[in-house]
Amino acid sequence: MMSDNSLAQQYTYTDLQHSVDELVGKYGLEKAVQMLKIFSQNTQIKVTNPRRLKLITDYVVAECAEIFDVNEQQLSSSTIREYREARMACYHLLSKYTGSSYARIGQRFGWEYHNVFYFYHKCEEILSLPGYYKNFIKMYNALEASTINFISKLN
C-alpha cells in the first residue's frame, strides 16, 4: 500500500529507469516494449469490442469492491458515501481507460448519464486535491494500478 508521503512524491528519471527495469525483469524485454508502446500510443481499449469492454468493466467493479471494502452487489445501488466514492472511482477509470460514454457506463450501474457525468468530474476535482482526500486517492491509485495491469495483460 502507498504511504501518505507517496502522494506528494516527485518522481525522477532514476525512478522511471528503475520501474522500466522491474517491468523488463517481470515480463521480458519484448513484452515490456509492447506494454510501453500500448500505453504511450493509446491507453484506451476500443469500445467496439464489447467482450473486452465487459471484461474490463467487470474486473474494475470487482476490484473496486475489494479495494474500497464495499459489497459488490450493493455497489450500483447504495447511496452510502463509501459506495458513492467507489462508484465514482469506477466511473472515472472506465471512462479514462475504455473511452466509454457516460450513458454506457451509467447503463452498467443503473444510473443516468448525468449522474456519471457529475461523479466523473467530482472525481477529477478530488484527484486535484490530494492533501484533502488522502484515503480516497490511495484507494483510487491502487484501483488504477490494478486496472492498468489488467489491461496490459489483455493486450
The Cα 64–Cα 142 span in angstroms is 9
Q: What is the pTM of this model?
A: 0.75
For 101, phi and psi rounded to 5 degrees?
Answer: -75, 160
- What is the reported pLDDT for 45? 57
Grid cell at residue 142 = 491502487
Considering only CA atoms, which of 75, 84, 141 is closest in space to residue 108?
A: 75
The overall average pLDDT reported for the chain is 85
pLDDT of res. 52: 85
The stretch 28-39 carries a mean pLDDT of 76
> pLDDT (tens digit, 9 = 90+) per residue, 80-119?
999 999 999 999 999 998 888 999 999 999 999 999 999 9
Q: What is the pLDDT of residue 47?
A: 54
**Domains plus CATH for the chain?**
9-41 (no CATH), 44-154 (1.10.1750.10)
pLDDT at 128: 92
CA 79 to chain centre: 21
Buried b / exposed e along 60-91 (16+ C-beta atoms within 10 A): bbebbbebbebeeeebeeeeeeebbbbbbbbb
Whether 2 contacts 141, CB under 8 Å: yes
Instruction: Tell me the residue length of the chain.
Output: 155
Over residues 112-145, the pLDDT tens digits come to 999 999 999 999 999 999 889 999 999 999 999 8
